[in-house]
Amino acid sequence: MVEVPAIEARSGPRWPLFLGLAALIVAADQLTKGWLVGRLAPGESVAVLGDWLRLVHGRNTGGLFGLFGGHAEILAVVSIGVIALIVAYHARAVPSRLLTVTLGLLLGGAIGNLLDRLRLGYVVDFVDVGIGDLRWYTFNVADAAISFALLGLVVLAVRPELGRDRGA
C-alpha cells in the first residue's frame, strides 16, 4: 500500500492572515483619513514635530508621487486590476508568512486608496515629512503599507530563502 503524506494545515495560502492584515490596513487608512478631513481644511497643515513632521490635508488626483494627475477614473480601473492580481498571486504562491504579510499590506494599501478614488475622485494624503523646503511626497497609511510591501518584495527577490517557511 502506498502511503500518502498528510497535508499540513498551513500548506495552502494563509487567507486569514492575508485578508485580516489587508482589512486592518484599510480600516486604519480610512479612519485616519476621516479623522484628518474632519479637522483640517484642504491645504491646511499642523506641525506635529516642528517642521520635520506635519499633518496636511492634501488631495492627490494622481497616482504614485502624484503622477498622472486628474485621471482618478483610469487609476481606479488599474487599481481594481492590481487588486485582482494580488489576490491571484497569493492564491498560487508557495506558502510563506513573509509573502503573505507583504501581499496583505499591498492589498490593504491598494484597497484603501481605491476607496478614496471611487468615493472622492482623489486620494487624501496627510503625512508630510521633511526639513524646510526639502520635503518628501505627502502620503497616507495606505501609501506607507504599499511602500513596506514593495520593500518586502525586493527583499524576497534578493533573498528568496526568506520566503520559505521552515517545514513548508
Number of H helices, E strands in the chain: 4, 4
87 assigned to some structural domain? yes
Angle at alpha carbon of residue 61, lines to 55 and 67, rounded to 5°: 100
1 assigned to some structural domain? no
Per-residue pLDDT band for 111 (boundaries 50, 70, 90) equals very high
The predicted pLDDT at position 6 comes to 40
The predicted pLDDT at position 4 comes to 42
131 assigned to some structural domain? yes
Nearby residues of 113 by Cβ (< 8 Å), 6 or more positions away: 29, 79, 123, 140, 142, 143, 146
pTM over 0.75: yes
Percent of the chain with pLDDT over 70: 85
More confident residue, 12 or 151: 151
The predicted pLDDT at position 19 comes to 97
The predicted pLDDT at position 11 comes to 52
C-alpha cell at 98: 513573509
List residues with catalytic annotation.
Answer: 125, 143
The predicted pLDDT at position 138 comes to 93
Full residue range of the structural domain in which residue 68 is found? 19-42+54-163
Count up the domains in the chain and report the number. 1
Per-residue pLDDT band for 61 (boundaries 50, 70, 90) equals confident
14 assigned to some structural domain? no
